[in-house]
Amino acid sequence: MTIDWRYTVEDNFGILSVAGYLGPDAVRRFTGAVGWALARGTGPVVVDLTELRSWSAEGQLAIIEAARRLKEAGRGLELAAIPADGSLVPTGDGPPIPVHTDLAAALAVHGPERAEQVEGRHEWRTTGWPAGQQAGG
């Protein structure tokens, strides 16, 4: 079992939405999605876990590693809507990872008024991501 992802570039941040199960089999795909975000955006990356069913210890470690990679690039990582079956347990030596209750709360931090369709918005997704589903809505 793996994940599907969608990356949307906003004005001053990005949203990496992840769906499925972030387990050992999905870590490589998640790492690739983070690389995609690093190459195509600026500012912090909000990892939207609204559609994530669950995650394993390996999945959580992949998120911590993503936070390190982003920090090395001068960017931050934030989480929105972590799975109810467990919270992220940082290793203590990584960068801080802000956690928001949901995507709306994360978006509010980055701008109180955000249009549904921002001109110049760019979006990429895996083929398994539902085409009609938009970032933040």
- Judged against a pLDDT cut of 70, whether residue 113 lies above it is answered with no
Q: How many CB atoms lie within 10 A of CB 124?
A: 15
Residue 118 inside a domain? The answer is yes
pLDDT, tens digit (0-9, with 9 covering 90-100), for 79-101: 999 887 556 666 667 888 999 99
Q: How many CB atoms lie within 10 A of CB 58?
A: 14
Count how many residues are written for the chain: 137
Residue 28 inside a domain? The answer is yes
* Both structure tokens of 54: 């669950």
Residue 98 inside a domain? The answer is yes
Residue 55 inside a domain? The answer is yes
Contact 79, 97 (CB under 8 A): yes
pLDDT, tens digit (0-9, with 9 covering 90-100), for 11-34: 789 999 999 999 999 999 999 999
Residue 120 inside a domain? The answer is yes
pLDDT, tens digit (0-9, with 9 covering 90-100), for 43-60: 999 999 999 999 998 999
Going by C-beta distance under 8 Å and a sequence separation of 6 or more, which residues neighbour residue 35? none
Residue 83 inside a domain? The answer is yes
Sign of CA dihedral 53, 58, 60, 62: negative
Residue 132 inside a domain? The answer is no
- pTM of the shown model: 0.84
Residue 23 is part of which domain span? 3-125
**Structural domains counted in the chain:** 1
CATH number where 46 lies: 3.30.750.24
**Core vs surface per residue 9-28: b (16+ CB within 10 A) or e:** bbeebbbbbbbbbbbeebbe
Q: What is the largest CA-CA distance in the chain?
A: 39
Q: Which residues pair with 19 in a beta bridge?
A: 4
Residue 137 inside a domain? The answer is no
